[in-house]
Amino acid sequence: MERRFALIEAAVSCGSPTRGSEGAYDALTGAGLPALFGGASLMPMEKLVPCATWPEGLRHLDTVMEVCRRLRANVLTALERGERPVIVGGDHSCAMGSLAALGEHYGAGELAVVYVDAHTDINTDRTSRSGYIHGMDLAAACGLCCEELDVGTNRVDLLGEDLHIIGARSIDPPEYGIVRQVGAHLYTAQDVLERGVEAVLAQVLPALEGKRVHISFDVDVLDPSAFLATGYNIPGGLSTAQVERILGAVLDTGRTCSFECVEYDPTKDPDGRDLDALMDIFRTVSERWR
């Protein structure tokens, strides 16, 4: 059966402290991303002006949630058309919209998430010190946040045991406790670098058995020596080869239902070097997604 894809924009950056990632979809589609996915259907999104006021502890709440609601609707449309969603952010707050749609379509208990990121993004609205929602999306998906962060008609209530975070190296103290509380699996960048990618995959891949798998890839998992065009350049990250091996191995299971890439900032990439590197990663995704 011919694979059909939908390239879906999540035009938000105000869930994070930096601007620019809302332009990632335009940069990637302009560089030829639709052709990599067999002439995928395009689902762009209006770029909203960030709201000027917000409740304490939830920066730019109205704008973030409007983007997530629109994204949820677009992902559901793609799924109903039999297309595989390829979501391009934007900052990682958009994952609330992605996961809301996937949980609604497949059932939260049927969904596993492979979250490849320099951060764990599992602060709640009560534990976050910054108030930026891109650090709360997994907690919201696990049903741990206030109702203001619910997308759609119901909470997602993702099972923590089905959450696999790989490559994290910037983790707030409260997040360690939340990871333990929900039973999520955390493989830090240090784990990957010291134990090796294959040892981590040997634990992750069997746990995906029988699940629909959503891959959420944040470019800041990459070491700054490999990739700079993002709001966070944190030493001690993964190489491009390591990331491609992780993504490829998960895709090779044949269980992946959706793929998400976030936090690429084309304004920090004047010569297009990181755009080329990211297109190479997308090429791996398109070739290995069975």
Give the tokens for residue 234: 């944190």
CA-to-CA distance for 229 and 163, rounded, in angstroms?
27
Other C-beta atoms closer than 10 Å to the C-beta of 193 total 17
Nearest to 184 by CA among 135, 132, 115: 115
User: For 115-124, what is each residue's pLDDT tens digit?
Assistant: 999 999 999 9
**pLDDT attached to residue 1:** 52
In sequence order, the β-bridge partners of residue 212 are 111
Mean pLDDT (whole number) for 162-183: 98
The torsion angles phi and psi of 55, rounded to 5 degrees, stand at -65, 155
**pLDDT attached to residue 155:** 80
Quick one: pLDDT band at residue 206, thresholds 50, 70, 90? very high
Please, what is the average pLDDT of the chain?
A: 97
User: For 56-99, what is each residue's pLDDT tens digit?
Assistant: 999 999 999 999 999 999 999 999 999 999 999 999 999 999 99
Share of the chain above pLDDT 90, in %: 97
List the chain domain ranges: 5-288
Mean pLDDT (whole number) for 103-120: 97
**pLDDT attached to residue 154:** 74
Task: Classify domain 5-288 by CATH architecture.
Answer: 3-Layer(aba) Sandwich (3.40)
Nearest to 122 by CA among 85, 148, 96: 96
Other C-beta atoms closer than 10 Å to the C-beta of 267 total 14
Nearest to 15 by CA among 123, 102, 136: 136
Q: Could you say which DSSP state residue 153 is in?
A: S
Mean pLDDT (whole number) for 197-225: 98
Other C-beta atoms closer than 10 Å to the C-beta of 41 total 15
Mean pLDDT (whole number) for 184-194: 98
Given a cut of 70, whether residue 35 has pLDDT beyond it is yes
Q: Please, what is the angle between helix 273-288 and helix 240-252, to 10°?
A: 20
> What are the catalytic residues?
92, 117, 119, 121, 134, 218, 220, 263
Mean pLDDT (whole number) for 104-131: 97
User: For 128-154, what is each residue's pLDDT tens digit?
Assistant: 999 999 999 999 999 999 999 999 877
**pLDDT attached to residue 244:** 98
